[in-house]
Amino acid sequence: MHNIPKLILTLAVAYLLDILPQAIAVWLPFVCIRIYAGGLHAKSGISCAGVTLLLFVVAPYVLKGAVASVELLILIFIATGFLLYKYAPADTANRPILGKKKRVRLKKGSVAVNFILMITTILFIDKTLYLLVALGVSFAVTSTLPLMYKLLGRSTNNYEQYEQ
């Protein structure tokens, strides 16, 4: 529930900037991947709102009108699929992902969603949105990478302290 005001703010700003479809094209795949892959969370509501606006409003605004080829889209999805296979799911200290079966299910789910998004994007999404869909997936995958956890001083594999 605490994310609804941030979502409304983000969509309102995107609407005012006349980039609502572009913002949704970044946000929706991001959410689809995050459901399974997990990843970093901001430490405060204010920083979350700032990052949310940056990722889902500023990035699509800057990239408005940019296009990507099918080949680039496929390359990005292959790379994100590999990274998800290697690093997802990523937990946080506040929300460790407990149980090996659950982690395996989430890993498989994240890779499957990545593949489904690739196929769906190629078959049904307007080519002017390819880059934005790939960007949303890339943002979600980036939040699972150990390098991001290290850069932000966060712990990884938090489940280990509970499953020893």
Mean per-residue pLDDT pooled into runs of 10, the chain (164 residues): 87 97 97 96 90 96 94 97 97 89 97 98 93 97 95 88 79
Q: What is the pTM of this model?
A: 0.94
Sign of torsion over alpha carbons 51, 111, 146, 102: positive
Kindly tell me the burial class for residue 58, based on how many C-beta atoms sit within 10 Å of its own C-beta (0-12, 13-18, 19 or more).
middle
According to the model, what pLDDT value does residue 156 have? 87
Question: Measured between alpha carbons, how far is 68 from 152 in angstroms, rounded to an integer?
Answer: 31
Query: Residue 161's pLDDT is what?
Result: 84
Spatial distance between the Cα atoms of 86 and 98, rounded to a whole number of angstroms: 18
Give residue 126's domain range: 4-161
What is the token pair recorded at 55?
Answer: 């990722």
Q: What's the pLDDT score for residue 164?
A: 67
Number of separate domains in the chain: 1
pLDDT (0 to 100) of residue 1: 64
